[in-house]
Amino acid sequence: MDLVTIYECLCDRTRLRILNLLRQGPLCVCHIQEILDEPQVKISKHLGYLKTHGLVTVRKEANWRIYALVAKPAKALAANLACLQDCAAEDKTFRRDLEKLARLRARPDDRAPACCASPRTRLSPTRSA
């Protein structure tokens, strides 16, 4: 993965917010949409861009698409994601996104988005970022 590709992916606020969320673990598109309060088509477009450029992976689970950061990021990507984590801690929008994610993970199953039967299953972090 070349550095220009990484920076092209990082030059959009929505993609940065998505990557910041995915540092916490895999997420369903509907959960990213809910947290960012953006239309599904916009979220899907950005996730597709990140996937095409090798920053995220996707797996299909029933009717859902679960996105995650690549398991073994290139050294330059890992360094930039670490920088994103540090910088995001100082930005109120990024902090608010992580707070929304924490609340979403804490919700009982009966308050899950209609498209997901069990958000805790899909929202559980499976690896450390």
Residue range 36-87, pLDDT digits in tens: 999 999 999 999 999 999 999 999 988 889 999 999 999 999 999 999 988 8
Q: Which band of pLDDT confidence, cut at 50, 70 and 90, is reported for residue 116? A: low
pTM for this predicted structure: 0.83
Q: Which band of pLDDT confidence, cut at 50, 70 and 90, is reported for residue 110? A: low
pLDDT at 129 over 60: no
Least Cα distance to 21 among 59, 60, 51, 47 occurs for: 47
- d(CA 55, CA 1) in angstroms, rounded, equals 9
Q: What is the pLDDT of residue 28?
A: 93
Q: Which band of pLDDT confidence, cut at 50, 70 and 90, is reported for residue 122? A: very low
According to DSSP, residue 83 is labeled: H
The beta strand positions in 1-127, using DSSP E, are 27-28, 56-61, 64-69
Which of 22-31, 65-74, 87-96, 109-118 has the lowest average pLDDT? 109-118
Work out the average pLDDT over 102-128. Answer: 59
- d(CA 51, CA 97) in angstroms, rounded, equals 21
pLDDT at 10 over 50: yes
**Domains of the chain, each with CATH number or no CATH:** 3-123 (1.10.10.10)
Mean predicted lDDT score pLDDT of the chain: 86
